[in-house]
């Protein structure tokens, strides 16, 4: 019994030590823009750990609200660029990210920072359909890997700051082949699902 109590206390102390070593804990919200999905809202949280002077390790998780429409642009030799809109059901994104931040304090209450790292996007299975062309397809693609880079500015008082940042994420693209039938003819279409995106974020953070 005493051994179990000691082990429990040891784990608790390790967890408390980890939290105490955190450089910051914060939350953010904003907009995310992709070529194929358009705009959506994003919310999330993050933590950083001091690695060395001016350099932090960064970890975050977020949720991107549901999208409604894919836009697929193709080149036709006779008609030029064509844009086909496809409806999607129950589609969202869960980005998980890790990387490095470099912070430079301009004055006591103001700093600029930049960072880069790796991204892992969790995607659900979803249904792709088109009312115009009367088809429906269940889609299940792999979760996505990529990289991100960002730059931002933070201002506030000791231990509490608000921030704004711009961020770009590049992700692997996936192609989906579909058979489309209309009242006049049938054809094959290839949808390039590239979820690379640009984000504008604001948030607040606690510093330890």
What does the pLDDT read at residue 197? Answer: 93
CA dist 150 and 156 (Å) reads: 20
Under the banding of pLDDT at 50, 70 and 90, the label for residue 14 is very low
Instruction: For 38-173, list the strands marked E by DSSP.
Output: 38-52, 55-76, 80-107, 110-122, 126-130, 135-139, 144-157, 160-171
Average pLDDT over residues 177-206: 78
pTM over 0.95: no
> How does pLDDT run across 164-186, given as a tens digit for each residue?
999 999 998 777 766 666 566 56
Of 9 and 195, the one with more pLDDT: 195
Pairing of strands 135-139, 126-130: antiparallel
Lowest mean pLDDT among 1-15, 69-83, 194-208: 1-15
Average pLDDT over residues 103-131: 86
Tokens of 177: 């082949």
What does the pLDDT read at residue 123? Answer: 85
Pairing of strands 126-130, 80-107: antiparallel
Average pLDDT over residues 21-30: 86
Under the banding of pLDDT at 50, 70 and 90, the label for residue 109 is confident
What does the pLDDT read at residue 82? Answer: 57
CA dist 201 and 45 (Å) reads: 12
Average pLDDT over residues 102-116: 90
What percentage of residues in the chain have a pLDDT greater than 70? 70
Q: Average pLDDT of the chain?
A: 79
**Range with top average pLDDT, 97-101, 123-127, 172-176:** 97-101
């Amino acid at each position: 019994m005493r051994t179990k109590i000691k082990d429990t206390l040891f784990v608790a102390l390790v967890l408390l030590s980890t939290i105490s070593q955190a450089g910051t804990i914060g939350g953010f919200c904003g907009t995310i823009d992709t070529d194929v999905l358009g705009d959506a809202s994003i919310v999330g949280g993050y933590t950083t750990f001091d690695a060395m002077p001016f350099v932090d390790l960064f970890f975050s998780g977020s949720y991107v609200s549901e999208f409604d429409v894919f836009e697929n642009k193709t080149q036709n030799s006779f008609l030029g660029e064509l844009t086909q809109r496809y409806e999607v059901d129950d589609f969202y994104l869960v980005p998980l990210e890790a990387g490095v931040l470099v912070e430079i304090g301009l004055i006591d209450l103001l700093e600029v920072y930049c960072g880069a790292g790796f991204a892992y996007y969790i995607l659900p299975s979803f249904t792709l359909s088109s009312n115009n062309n009367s088809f429906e397809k269940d889609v299940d693609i792999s979760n996505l890997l990529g990289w991100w880079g960002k730059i931002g500015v933070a201002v506030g008082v000791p231990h509490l700051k608000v921030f704004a940042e711009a961020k770009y994420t590049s992700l692997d693209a996936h192609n989906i082949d579909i058979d489309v039938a209309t009242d006049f003819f049938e054809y094959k279409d290839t949808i390039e699902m590239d979820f690379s995106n640009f984000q504008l974020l604001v948030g607040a953070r606690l510093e330890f």
